[in-house]
Structure 1
Amino acid sequence: MQSDFWPYLPTLQRLALALAIGLFVGMEREWRGKEAGLRTFGFGALLGCLGALLGPPYALTALGLLGILVILISVRAILFGRDLELTTSAALLVVGFAGVLAGLGHTLTPTAVAVVTAGLLAWKEPLAGFTGGLSVQELRSAILLAMLAFVIYPALPEEAVDPWGLISPRDSWATVILIAGLGFANYILLKVYGTRGVRVSGFLGGLVNSSIAVVELATLHRRAKHGLGNVVYQGVLLATAGTLVRNAVVFGLLAPRALVAAAASFALLFLPSVAFAVIGQRSDEEKSSDVPIELPSPFSITAALRFGLIFLAITVAGTVAERLLGDAGFYVASLIGGAVSSASTVATAAILTANGTLNPTVAGTGAVLATLTSIGINLTLAARVGADRRLTTRLALALGITVLLGAVGIGIDRLLASSL
């Protein structure tokens, strides 16, 4: 009978996958000298797989037996006066469930679970060190970001709430979450790697907020009695490069076609800013480059609401200007918006393109114009705060050429768009 046929090859494949999963996770536990190691995890995954192959009741029995094994491991640890192996026990249960999934014929899910489990076990020290280094404000920011994304966002209406179709709460809030999430992730990178020096801090600070990064760099230079001129020069240029990367990522995530339409402009802005930073490196000031910059956490309810209001204002202004004055109106709104927040302006252009309100080429040009305005604002901030004529002259030359090449990029992008 067909029901009596045993599919040998698929069964062996499922058993092999379960065994590989168990051994993969157990290898890390064995390396750390835990009570449950390579063989225990291999048997646990096989037990779950066999239970799934035999049927649901057996799968539940297998997981129950695995739970008893976890209890015995904990009791043994208590009797011998050792710490409870809670992490090992949890990993063993996860591997058992992964074995059940493998027995049911799943491949991607149990494999991904095994990789993530092994990663969490292997990265114990970095994760513990990172968590211990978080401030209360940073922890609250992470929780708040999750609330905005998973509690408030689903409750917002999807359609526009005004008669003119200008204000779409869910689209606006999604953009707030995206920018805030990128800013918070970049802040974490800055916290982890920013201690490597002004140059790294400048680039990562540009990913978070280029204006704040430039002010911090210029302040360091002024406090050092103009003794950090070269590294601050490089830091400001790399902060500009970081801003370009952030804006390109936002554009690419929200409106990939618009990013393609502005590819030459972004490339001709990014490359010279990095090139001038590399060319400007001098060995005689390397000893000063280990001074990090400090940025406040970029995420709070106030910052989120402020960004949301800015984004909403630029969206409404850009849409109205485009309807009344055409493309030129949107370009003017982009230039003005870039002076307030280039990230908001770029996100606005991307959302309008995604909604079909704006042509990708027009959106790309507007995003580049907003970025050019932001570069000009950063130069002004560096000049005023740093109060060093030589530094200002060097930055004006480098950023001036960068802006000029960005303008050339706009022309190239428009020529390419017209030829297609």
Structure 2
Amino acid sequence: MFSDELLHRLAVALGIGLLIGLERGWRARDEGEGERAAGFRTFALSGLLGGICAALVPLAGALVLAAGLLAFSLAFAAFHWLEAQADQDFSATGVVAGILTFALGAYAVLGEVRVAVAAAVAVAALLALKQPLHAWLRRLTWPEIRAGLVLLAMSFLLLPLLPDRPVDPWDALNPAEIWLLAIIIAALSFVGYVAVRIIGARAGIVLLAVAGALASSTAVTLTLARMAKGRAEGAGVLAGGILLASAVMVGRVLVVTFALNPALVLPLAWPLGTAILVFLAGGGFLLLRRTGGEGEGPELTLTNPLELGVALKMAAIIAVVMLLAKLVGDRFGDTGLYVLAAVSGLADVDALTLSMARMAGSGISLEVAAGAIAIAVAVNTAVKCVMAGALGSPRLAVLVTGGSAVAIAAGAGAFLLAQG
């Protein structure tokens, strides 16, 4: 190894130690001199020591690195044991961090520098996020942990065992593909579920609408509509929250479509993008006009999307929609698909979106698939207007329906212009 490259790699090893040592030293900044086993300088030297031992491997063999790691680990662990005895604070985190610093310093010399730096950043971030991570763990419930473990097992144990081919006479149902699509939607919904759990039950309307809509925009609409019942003075901000949730729902459709079939995004970008802008403009206008007494956030209850029953239900819905799309498309053509999209949109847009994204370009044209998704989104938006009127107040219904109607009309106009 050339001397310039070796110096560069040793500098990276030292930098890794400095990065991890910065977090460790800051955490122990209130302790006096000699009261801590390792601080900023010790971790910096640990990274450099790992780099030096690795640099000696071409000259003295790999044994020098192994001996260096063993000696360092024993000495580091011994000093931390003494510190733990004195402070009665028993934790292996500091020892593991020290060994990782040495190992990453060595890898920076022998391996890929970028990987070593990325790993060091991850180590420092995990150490720095101790309180938030522990607070998050305290908020978790056993059913949530169990559901996540079950779904992970179903994903990584069952998914490889499922047939990755059509198993029905119509060549429409691929078990492995259907289960994978259900996992994708469950994972995306779980982001919103976790966000709502972190935000808390009495959050602001904006945060609640955005986080909740990642999991279920319908749940957000139902919650805000019920809150508007008998609260005419708060209808404006609640309607703004519903419109904002609709914008998140449409954006989610675009993200899922892009992940599964990027070619389908192009015919959808103009209509759905236009609808998102209108929803954001309408929701933002109503939220910015909020007055005193409108800022209370409602309770939002969501079903954990990582529950096995919820995932199986989603997989069943996707399978039914994909089968119907195949049968209806073959028998009734494009018109039948549009009718199926409208019916699907009455309850949910995810299953129809996933089905069209997987089938577009193979049996269904991109334009027809895009039109079906747009219809499902429009129908689902109209259903939210009905919810606002049936469960909320007349003023809420007028505001939500007005904003949604403009968004649907603008999206339809953009779709027609894009078609031609």
TM-score (norm 1): 0.91
Matches within 5 A, 1:10-409: 10-33=5-28, 35-53=37-55, 54=57, 55-193=61-199, 195-222=202-229, 225-281=231-287, 283=289, 285-299=291-305, 300-353=307-360, 356-386=362-392, 388-409=393-414
Partner SS for 1:293: coil
Deviation, 1:104, is 1.0
Q: TM-score, normalised by structure 2?
A: 0.91
- C-alpha separation in 1, matches of 2:148 and 2:259: 21
Deviations, residues 248-296 of structure 1 (Å, cap 9, x unaligned): 1111111111112210011111111111112223656343223243122
Please tell me the residue identity of whatever aligns with 2:360. Answer: T
State the one-letter code of the partner of 1:46. Answer: L
Structure 1 runs not aligned, ≥5 long: 1-5, 416-420
Match of 2:32 in 1: none
Would the alpha carbon gap of residues 284 and 269 (structure 1) be closer, same or farther in structure 2, given more than 3 Å must change?
closer
Letter in 1 for 2:16: I
Q: How far apart, in 2, do the equivalents of 1:414 and 1:69 lie?
A: 71
| 1:82, distance to aligned residue in structure 2 (A) | 3.1
Q: Give a deviation string over 1:113-139, Cα, whole Å, max 9, x none.
A: 101111011111111112211222332
- The amino acid of 1:212's aligned partner reads A
Would the alpha carbon gap of residues 282 and 39 (structure 1) be closer, same or farther in structure 2, given more than 3 Å must change? Answer: closer
Contact 1:342 1:374 in 2 (8 A): yes
User: 1:400 and 1:327 mapped to 2: Cα distance?
Assistant: 25
1:145-191 per-position Cα deviation (integer Å, ceiling 9, x unaligned) = 32232222222222222243211111111111110000001111222
Give the conservation status (yes or no) of the 8 Å contact 1:207–1:245: no
Question: Any idea what the Cα deviations from partners look like across 1:187-228, whole Å, max 9, x if unmatched?
Answer: 112222364412321222222111111111111122x54442
Equivalence for 1:418: none
* Structure 1 range deviating more: 280-289 or 251-260: 280-289
The answer to whether the Cα contact below 8 Å between 1:205 and 1:295 also exists between their aligned partners in 2 is: no
Structure 2 residue 12 is the aligned partner of structure 1 residue 7: no
> Partners of 1:60 and 1:104 in 2: how far apart?
13
Note closer, same or farther for the CA distance 1:68–1:232 as it changes in structure 2 (3 Å cut): same
Give the % identical residues. Answer: 25
Aligned twin of 2:31: none
- Contact map agreement 2:209 2:241 (CA 8 A) in 1: yes
Rounded to whole Å, the distance in 2 between the matches of 1:289 and 1:140 is 35
Residue 80 of structure 1 aligns to a residue whose secondary structure is helix
Aligned residue pair count = 407
Amino acid at match of 2:39: G
Q: Does residue 416 of structure 2 align to residue 414 of structure 1?
A: no
Inter-partner Cα distance in structure 1 for 2:37 and 2:129:
19
Change (3 A) 1:69 1:327: farther
CA distance in structure 2 between the aligned counterparts of 1:352 and 1:293, rounded to whole angstroms: 39
4+ runs of 1 displaced by more than 4 Å?
Answer: none
Root-mean-square deviation (CA, aligned residues, Å) is: 1.9
The amino acid of 2:407's aligned partner reads T
The answer as to whether partners of 1:28 and 1:118 remain within 8 angstroms in 2 is: yes
Indicate the larger mover: 254-263 or 74-83: 74-83
- Residue 322 of structure 1 aligns with an amino acid whose one-letter code is G
